[in-house]
Structure 1
Amino acid sequence: MVRVGLDHEVAGERLLVGTGLTVDELDRADDAVEASQELAVARNLVGELGDRPGLGLEVATGLGLNSFGLLGFALLSSPTVGDAARIGLRYLNLCHVFVTVSVTVGLNGVRVAFDDDDLPEDVRPFLVERDLAIIIGVLMAGIFGTEAVTRGPDIQLELSLGAERGRPLGEQLSPLSVSYGRPRSVLTFPADLLSAPAPMPDDATARLCERQCHEVVQHRRERHGLAAQVRGRLLRDPGSMPSATDIAAELHVDRRTLHRRLADEETSFRALREETLHGLAAEMLTVLHLSVEETAQRLGYATASAFTHAYTRWAGSPPSRHLPRTEKSPDTRTRIRDEATAVAQVLAGSGDAEARSWGEALTWFAEHIHGDRQQARAAFAERFGVQLPARRA
């Protein structure tokens, strides 16, 4: 999309407003470009050039199956068109499209529906034109091969775009039979096309490319997926976590789109929220050695009992089971830490090197005080190589 804007003499900086990217970073961004950034570019492009018919087509101009890397090779080398369609549908997110695609195979043929209900109104026509140009005009045309021409009249496309807005796309997809102004964009074709061979069938290559596509998707989910973004936002302020509506607004998508895309990543907002809360609670209880009351307060629970109920649901046991056996009260821990710090300051200010060393050690001990005395002594010994004497009875 940036290339199209630049071709129309729109400054790259204007096209990238709101993305956090620069023109120089685009070549290095690769799969780090997120859906919210693409949406921002789409809005900037339409805002600069207007929602002109054919603008979405320009984005797809010059693309072929080889433009989509591993996915393109997987489609080309699939044994049949049906196999290629299965792979394409599974890894369509690698193409950065926004429409939702669903496929139904019946007695009357194959029906491919393109749902655009979740697309923002201001860029919906542009994104529908662009996405269908890529999915039908590049991906499907590539795997159909010559069948797309010889069987063109048997392939029908209903467009949600009106005749004036959708005609450039319809003409580009000739010889398909195209109608305009329909409730939903739908492509239908005879089911026997699924059994036709793909352009370059090679089962071993197809399996290898599909496996690598899966690895790319997993990598994106871990590093740049929507779930990672949501989890990061939830961690930003654990005591006052935002709602799904709040996060959707920050990502410039509506709530339905947020839930749908999280479902595509095999998770949900509720699951991410509870996973985040559970992880934080476990760290506070077992690492920071906070009390149940302190943990509940830090995580924004109104009462300790409400937190206990939630934690038991997550972990299968109450949080008290995860506390050190001899947990000390906050007041006791504070008193011990203050006394240790005071002694450490005296030793650290001494002119004796050994005393200063013990002062530094005691300072560390004060900062890492544990409720369990044995655990504290073991940690001290590991850090300084000195075994503290056991407390006398």
Structure 2
Amino acid sequence: MAKPLARYATMSTYPAVAHSVGLDPARFIRDVGLNPSGIAMPDRWVPATSIAELLHRSAVASGHDDFGIALAEQRRLSALGPLSLVIREEPDVRSALRMLMRYEHMYNEALHITMSEADGLATLKLSLDVGSDVPVVQSIDFAIGVLCRLMRDLRGATWYPLSVTLRRFAPHDPSTHHQILGPNVSFDGTFDGLTVYARDLDAPNALSDPEMRSYAAAFLASLDVERHDRATERVRRVVEVLLPSGRCSVVQVARSLGVDRRTVHRQLASEATTFTSVVNDVRMGMARHLVGQKRHSLTEVAELLSFSSPGNFSRWFRTQFGCSPTQWRSRSGDAERAVSGAYTPGTQPALP
């Protein structure tokens, strides 16, 4: 069975929170097999188990048992990616939550949210299956915090749930939990979730702009939101994770997906592609971003793309793009300066 994935945007607030408690975020990210530079690529997908392990290790190392909930404090709706554009335009809180639950696989394959109503109350329960036995207390805290923060955005800044229930033991200092989740937080409960008045779900969405709703609906309809992704897309996501680590073999990719390499080859062949083609396509996308970005030297880019030498990278790049990495980077810089007004009309260079 393939291991569930989550968008890199899940970790967008991690570096700042890690720094605030005295941790080196880059080292901790690397220690769980991820690439720190991936933070700049929020739409990439990584194993959910790696994120869960990162949060657990960070809480233990820092001595802050509220690490996961602290991550949620600065989380923004935009971290949901394209789905955020649709959710913010739903007419009421109920429809926004239904959209969040229906398309949860678009931002986190490990997370599952259910909602039930009875006697004027609505209960939202969260479960998390990361595909391994990594402790998920911090991840659950984080998910609950994000959900509560989202509902406050939809309902209004002064709103808090009627109650929040967590299965975890109470932290030594629950003040951060109360700050994010409200005054009525109980620990050592029977489920992870929150309870609200059902009437709160029918309240207007405070973020919504009625004139934008039809555009948001059309945008969602244009997305490929099939729950069962094509094999090519699942392989691509894992390749994006493993390529910078130098461990991007078909055997390692198959292991990450919970299948054998023959299955990977067979599934890709059924979709008229190959493992080599997928890796090359991912490399091209990452190369465009990394070479144009200028954050890394070209030698570092070659390493991130798992080339054995800068020379091999340069030859591959020229074959794919028709120019050297240095030329591409130079033209990218020229284009940026042209946009900012550093060039006079008629002299703007074009990217290849």
The 5-angstrom pairing of residues 28-177 of structure 1 reads 29-36=41-48, 37-50=50-63, 52-65=64-77, 68=80, 70-96=82-108, 98-116=110-128, 122-136=134-148, 138-145=149-156, 148-149=159-160, 152=161, 155-164=162-171, 167-168=174-175, 170-173=177-180, 175=182, 177=184
Greater relative contact order structure (CA < 8 Å, 6+ sep): 2
Q: Which of 190, 204, 217 in structure 2 is aligned with 1:183?
A: 190
Query: Quick one: structure 1 residues 281 and 93, their matched pair in 2 at CA, closer, same or farther if it must change by over 3 Å?
Result: closer
Aligned length: 252
Give, as a single letter, the amino acid of the residue that structure 2 aligns with 1:58: A
**Matching residue of 1:325:** none
Q: Is the 8 A contact 1:161 1:182 kept in 2?
A: yes
Q: Is the 8 A contact 1:133 1:169 kept in 2?
A: no
- What 5-or-longer segments of structure 1 have no aligned partner? 252-257, 259-268, 284-393
2:24 matched to 1:11? yes
After superposition, give the CA deviation of every residue in 1:106-132 in whole Å (9 maximum; x if it has no partner).
Answer: 454322111246575553221111111
Query: Quick one: structure 1 residues 94 and 38, their matched pair in 2 at CA, closer, same or farther if it must change by over 3 Å?
Result: farther
Between 139-148 and 60-69, report the one with greater CA deviation. Answer: 60-69
Distance 2:217 2:29 in 1: 32
Secondary structure in 2 matching 1:30: coil
The 5-angstrom pairing of residues 257-272 of structure 1 reads none
Secondary structure in 1 matching 2:150: helix
Query: Quick one: structure 1 residues 111 and 212, their matched pair in 2 at CA, closer, same or farther if it must change by over 3 Å?
Result: same
Query: Quick one: structure 1 residues 25 and 111, their matched pair in 2 at CA, closer, same or farther if it must change by over 3 Å?
Result: closer
Q: Which of 203, 208, 211 in structure 2 is aligned with 1:196?
A: 203
Give, as a single letter, the amino acid of the residue that structure 2 aligns with 1:140: M
Distance 2:163 2:105 in 1: 24
Q: Is the 8 A contact 2:66 2:177 kept in 1?
A: no
Secondary structure in 2 matching 1:277: helix
Structure with greater helix share of residues: 1
| Deviation beyond 6 Å, 4+ runs, structure 1 | 230-233, 272-275
Q: Which has the larger radius of gyration?
A: 1
1:67 Cα deviation after fit: 5.3
Secondary structure in 1 matching 2:174: helix
Q: Is the 8 A contact 1:105 1:191 kept in 2?
A: yes
1:278 Cα deviation after fit: 6.7
Distance 1:17 1:65 in 2: 26
Distance 1:80 1:273 in 2: 48
Once superposed, what is the RMSD of the aligned Cα atoms?
A: 4.5
Q: Which of 268, 277, 283 in structure 1 is aligned with 2:266?
A: 277
Distance 1:120 1:24 in 2: 25
After superposition, give the CA deviation of every residue in 1:115-174 in whole Å (9 maximum; x if it has no partner).
Answer: 2465755532211111111111x111111226725xx5xx22221122336834541245
Distance 1:46 1:164 in 2: 11
Q: Is the 8 A contact 1:159 1:180 kept in 2?
A: yes
1:195 Cα deviation after fit: 1.8
Give, as a single letter, the amino acid of the residue that structure 1 aligns with 2:71: V
- What 5-or-longer segments of structure 2 have no aligned partner? 1-13, 243-248, 273-352
1:2 Cα deviation after fit: 2.9
Q: Is the 8 A contact 2:166 2:191 kept in 1?
A: yes
TM-score by structure 2 length? 0.55
Q: Is the 8 A contact 2:52 2:138 kept in 1?
A: no
